[in-house]
Amino acid sequence: MSKQVHGDGSDDEQHISKGEIFDVLQNERRRHTLQYLRENGGPVSLGDLASHVAAQEYDCPDADVTSAQRKRVYTTLQQSHLPRMDEAGIVEYDDETGTIERTEQTEELTVYLEIVPGSEFPWREYYLSLGAVSLAIVTILWVGVYPFTLISPLVWWAVLSIVLCISAGYHTYIGREMTLTEFTEQSDCDD
């Protein structure tokens, strides 16, 4: 893990590289762990976490998870995933008490938990297109092309600003709920 060392020699601030982030997040159980911590905040027990992760994996409510399913998840979380995440500074895992807590780095990973379904509107392309259209209109107004000069440049700027604000507002609104758990539908819990 990369650490930023301050001038006084202290290394209390840690920074996780993108490679380390993706290494940790490549595993679904680790992603579900972070999502659970994100939703529940403070310290969580390994047992509750294992039940939740098993429910996500087996696509069923927490109450329908079998003891065998829970045990499989519990064991790998305890022996592999949580120690790895603790070592990276992403969570604080106390193996003696079986509690998991968030760290500052947990918050840093929030953006990586947001997912975009295949049918999601391509916002990058939309904003690029909006920028290109805006630039074209500015160029046309600067050159003085006839039909566009009938409307005041201030009106053009107002229209472009309104379109940008509405687009960004809508994008922000729909993006708030675009998380890992939104796309997990509940069904019967089969092993």
pLDDT of 115 reads 53
Looking at residue 188, its pLDDT comes to 43
**What are the structural domain ranges in the chain?**
2-113, 114-191
pLDDT at 182: 45
Q: Looking at the chain, how many residues does it have?
A: 191
Low-confidence ranges of the chain (pLDDT < 50): 1-13, 116-118, 179-188, 190-191
Instruction: Please count the CA atoms within 13 angstroms of the CA of 39 that sit on its side-chain side.
Output: 16
pLDDT for res 50: 92
Alpha-carbon gap, residue 12 to 7, rounded angstroms: 12
Percent with pLDDT over 70 in the chain: 77
pLDDT of residue 5: 34
2-113 has CATH 1.10.287 classification: no
pTM: 0.55
3-state secondary structure 26-79: CCHHHHHHHHHHHHHCCCEEHHHHHHHHHHHHCCCCHHHCCHHHHHHHHHHHHH
